[in-house]
Structure 1
Amino acid sequence: MPHISRVTAYTHLTPHDLKPPGEPEVFFEPVDTEIGVWVAADLLPPGGGGTVLDLGSGSGAAAAAMARAGAARVHGIDSGEQTLRYARTHYASPPSDGRVTFALGDFALMSAQQLLATASGPLPQPLVVTSNPAYVPLPPEVDEARPSISGGADGLKWAGAVTGHAQALGADLGLTIGSYSTPRHAVAVITEAGYRIAAVTLCPLPFGDFTRRHPERVLALEEEGEAVLWRAGPDPLAYFVVGLACRREDSDVRPVGAKELMDLLHSAARSTTTRLENLDAPGEMPYPWPVRVLDLPPATARHHW
């Protein structure tokens, strides 16, 4: 039976990474970033190696941490010019090394080959495509007000493009969503592209300020049974950041549908502490993949734009 493990401190992000960038258009959400690195690490070869193509690479902190976690090469692509400048200044490797690089581009509008063309030189195999895209479901009238978090009506506005690139490149897939980002639909997108979940990482997180002011779409999805909120914890408006490490269907990962992920989230939501203790409760069904719970100290700051 796959085990449940718990991590109680930031493992991949350094104290430097946990300092707010101080730039208006540089996303800063340490929990999401830490989970994204765990997901990439779950997919990298044992002992290190391979390449991570990080779509929507943001500040660059995740890319640098993925290299520290064992990737031989990490290449980030982001559409924000200010974000790209920040990432190159603070996280790109020296030209003599070149392990961590960044390029400007909108991955939703590019082909998989165009993405590869933004990197200099060949990329070591195997290839892993990861993304921590904007995933907050928001009403149409405010969806464009916060580009760094706006995930469309179902929170999965970018998931199809990310998954499609991984499929086209024959790569394994790492995707971060929110438990309110229609996880049932997310599994359908992953499955239809030929992927199966291999490991799950969870961390509870309170709503951000903008989502608190505009919860209408999230609450509607909860009422429809398509979103899972964490209401039994210390904050009545909280959710789970969900990191999905996915392998291609031709691997030896047992096919698992959306029900198992929804059952996991509902079980976690019955917990009263950030340890998500209900996952260990007697009578809970065994989970078909390893589950990692991040019980992290609250971030001193969060910045969405």
Structure 2
Amino acid sequence: MPNVSRVLSYEHLAGDDFVPPASPQVFFEPADTEIGVWVVHDLLTDGCSVLDLGSGSGAAAAAMARAGAARVHGVDSGPETVAWAGQHYASRDGDGRVTIARGDFSAMTTGELLATAPTPLPRPLVVTSNPPYVPLTVRADAQRRSISGGTDGLKWAPAIIGHGRALRSDLGLTIGSYSTPRKAVQLLEAAGYRVHAVTLCPLPLGEFTLANMEQVLALEEAGEAVLWRAGRDVPAYFIVGLACRWTGPGTAATHDRLSGDGLLGLLRVAARSRTARLETLDGPRPDGWSGPLRVLDLPAATVRRHW
């Protein structure tokens, strides 16, 4: 079995990316942002562009360009977020490598999304998103827009996957280990995607999630969510970055394919670890999958801002 690669520091975010935005309405979670860039990193090819759905502060979009994307266009529905991203991360040197537009990707057609870019995005195109993914009750879901993922944590996934499928583009999707990961892979497979690489990063549960654990605990009890409890006073979860290749609907399954059950099993193995390096993943993997697996063991952020 291939060794797991481990990253022990931030390699894509730097400098001002660690300064919380002035507006409290701009999501700030460095580990989430870093893992989203790693997901795109696994899908980049020469000259490709990236369509970043729910682009947030713009830090990820700028880092994707630094990582090698020829163009990155972000779309986000928050007025404060788009203003911040445009001021701090959109290209100002005339090359237009990073552009930001306001729009609700869940309510737009794929054509309307592409039309928000100031100039056509060159192909090949990677679609990516690090959407809100915390499973919450209906009551709690309405209170935290920046983290609310519906009762299964995948409220935004069908729209994201649908845009990728319409463009026949490779797709990056970030979820949580409590965001019904088996269902996430099933949605991807039904749309014609195969998981190419997985990136995991342990992260403590946020204050709002800890105070509204009903739905997370119900999913865990049903065997559809994984929390990291080993040796911990407070449970944590894993950010799960899925780099997916477009293969087309109806593609025959291969023996080296990560299924929904395989991802859930992988997360359960990770949850037996005692350290943030997730050492239990160095043993045999569920499902026989041998694709690229990365673990991020990052320094804890002093500020995490969710609204």
Instruction: State the TM-score, normalized to the length of structure 1.
Output: 0.96
Conservation of the 8 A alpha-carbon contact between 1:264 and 1:287: no
Q: 1:233 to 1:99 in 2, by over 3 A?
A: farther
Which residue does the alignment assign to 2:35? 35
Q: Deviations over 1:58-107 (max 9, x none)?
A: 00000000000000000000000010000000000016110000000000
In structure 2, how many angstroms separate the alpha carbons of the residues matched to 1:165 and 1:284?
Answer: 31
Which range is displaced more, 265-274 or 88-97? Answer: 88-97
- Work out the percentage of aligned pairs sharing the same amino acid: 64
Local SS of the residue matching 1:87: helix
> Quick one: which amino acid aligns to residue 19 of structure 1?
V
In structure 1, how many angstroms separate the alpha carbons of the residues matched to 2:109 and 2:162?
Answer: 9
Aligned residue runs from structure 1 range 171-210, under 5 A: 171-210=169-208
Local SS of the residue matching 2:15: coil
Q: 1:233 to 1:239 in 2, by over 3 A?
A: farther
Conservation of the 8 A alpha-carbon contact between 1:2 and 1:287: no
Moved over 2 A (4+): 233-236, 250-256, 283-288
Aligned residue runs from structure 1 range 204-243, under 5 A: 204-243=202-241
Report deviation, 1:177.
0.1
Which residue does the alignment assign to 1:74? 72
In structure 1, how many angstroms separate the alpha carbons of the residues matched to 2:223 and 2:304?
Answer: 28
Structure 2: gaps (5+ residues) = none
Which residue does the alignment assign to 1:21? 21
Which residue does the alignment assign to 2:11? 11
How many residue pairs get aligned? The number is: 302
Conservation of the 8 A alpha-carbon contact between 2:258 and 2:289: no
Q: Deviations over 1:25-61 (max 9, x none)?
A: 100011110000000010001xx42110000000000
Local SS of the residue matching 2:172: strand
Aligned residue runs from structure 1 range 153-302, under 5 A: 153-249=151-247, 254-281=256-283, 284-285=285-286, 287-302=289-304
Match of 1:107 among 84, 105, 108: 105
Conservation of the 8 A alpha-carbon contact between 2:43 and 2:170: yes
Conservation of the 8 A alpha-carbon contact between 2:132 and 2:149: yes
Q: 1:7 to 1:170 in 2, by over 3 A?
A: same
Conservation of the 8 A alpha-carbon contact between 1:233 and 1:274: no
Report deviation, 1:284.
5.0
Local SS of the residue matching 1:236: coil
> Quick one: which amino acid aligns to residue 118 of structure 2?
S
C-alpha RMSD of the superposition: 1.5
Conservation of the 8 A alpha-carbon contact between 1:51 and 1:125: yes
